[in-house]
Chain A
Amino acid sequence: MALGILGRKVGMTQVFDEQGRAVPVTVVQAGPCHVLQVRTLERDGYEAIQVGYLDMPRHRVSRAARGHVAQLDSKGQRKRAAAGLQPIPKANCEPKRYIREFRGAGDGLSVGQVLSVEVLNGVSAVDVTATTKGRGFAGVIKRHGFSGQRATHGVKKVHRHPGGTGCNTSPGRVVPGRKMAGHLGNVRRTVRNLKVVKIDPQADLLVVRGAIPGPNGGLVIVRPSNKVG
């Protein structure tokens, strides 16, 4: 089973299933991703595969980023060659905009291999991780779903306020964890167990049932769901 794949949220729409019911779906353009590194227990202390998604123009990235994906001529390389050491395997692709790691044994995967959405073939549900839309400083109604106060009956200028936050002299403080206004959104969130509706390898499309975090065009990390049942 594949460890996962990177993609971009395209947008939401609806499709009709075999029974004719409308199913809300999110379209994700997933892959193609290059495997840039395979991390092993011996060398790195943990197992993972590192994948890159979306090309960047070479002149826009640093030499280090170029050297990460392709063999460059450098002093270190020449030294290593002179010492008779194998050059570190490189993917030999364009520099990547997004580079992420998937923990787990990359069995059979080697550096330079291209992952397409087909790695999710046979997967019935996925977990999707992305950064939610930032809402800035939000009040308690929007942020925590508080009910607010009445519109009338003497309520003055505090219609969307949280109301009381605690007791009196005892304990004489606000207990930690009190829900208050503050920054909302722009955090990493995972939506689990989204059913896979369709996989279209020709257009690199993955269609899942339901919503996923983030704006259209945002990076999403798709993994086969580890949720049981």
Chain B
Amino acid sequence: MNKQELMAAVEQPCLKSEVPYFEVGDTVDIHCRIVEGNNERIQIFNGVVIARSGSGTREMFTVRRIVQGEGVERKFPLHSPFVAKIEVKRAAIVRRAKLYYLRDRVGKAVRLRERRPDQMKKRQNREAFWLRQQAAKSQKRSETTA
């Protein structure tokens, strides 16, 4: 086995089997699992995905929101057990992989151009492509383990 396959063998058990499709620019609800002593509760962090980085178990994404006029960013490990659920609320038309320019903006300028239903075609194509990739990956995985 080469390096990639060996690393994949180690990372595979830590990857979530189902991760929803989302893009940079999407407005998402992140359901975070918060453990306080013995209690566990879910807190929702809502905001815009401004960056995605890394691969495998190290994949991270950054969510930005404005709280009381102050920008707040949280960076989540995509496959962390503490990220219970990711819900895509809205999609936007963006032309960058990283939306760091939003940090310099306030008020109305923060708004992103929303993707209307009739503009979803491209996004759906990307999603379909992504799903095919995922399927191919999981198939390859089952082949190597078999």
Contact = CB atoms under 8 A, between A and B. Distances in A.
Interface of A: 10-11, 13-16, 20, 22, 25, 27, 29, 198, 200, 203, 205, 207, 216-217
B80 A25 contact: no
Nearest to B6: A10
B11 A216 contact: no
A203 B1 CA distance: 8
Contact of A200 (B9, B77, B81): B9
A186 B131 CA distance: 45
B46 interface: no
A13 B7 contact: yes
Given A20-B80, A20-B81, A207 B10 contact: yes
B41 interface: no
B76 to A, nearest CB: 11
Contacts of A198: 10
A217 to B, nearest CB: 8
A25 to B, nearest CB: 7
Contacts of A11: 3, 7
B80 A22 contact: yes
Scoring B6, B10, B14, B79 by chain A CB atoms within 10 A of each residue's CB, the highest score goes to B10
B10 A27 contact: yes
Contact of A27 (B6, B13, B80, B82): B6
In the A-B complex, the 10 residue pairs with the closest CB atoms: A20-B81, A15-B14, A10-B6, A16-B14, A203-B9, A27-B10, A20-B82, A14-B57, A10-B3, A207-B10
B124 to A, nearest CB: 32
21 contacts: A10-B3, A11-B3, A13-B10, A13-B56, A13-B58, A15-B11, A15-B13, A15-B57, A16-B14, A16-B79, A20-B33, A20-B80, A20-B81, A22-B57, A22-B80, A29-B6, A198-B10, A200-B10, A203-B1, A205-B9, A207-B10
Contacts of A217: 3
Nearest to A10: B6
A216 B2 CA distance: 12
B3 A15 contact: no
A41 B30 CA distance: 65
Nearest to A200: B9
B80 A16 contact: yes
Contact of B57 (A16, A203, A207): A16
Given A10-B6, A203-B9, A216-B3, 19 more contacts: A10-B3, A10-B7, A11-B7, A13-B7, A13-B10, A13-B56, A13-B58, A15-B13, A15-B57, A16-B14, A16-B80, A20-B81, A20-B82, A22-B57, A27-B6, A203-B6, A205-B6, A205-B9, A217-B3
A13 to B, nearest CB: 6
Contacts of A27: 6-7, 10
Contacts of B57: 13-16, 22
Interface string B65-84: 00000000000010111100
Contacts of A22: 57, 77, 80
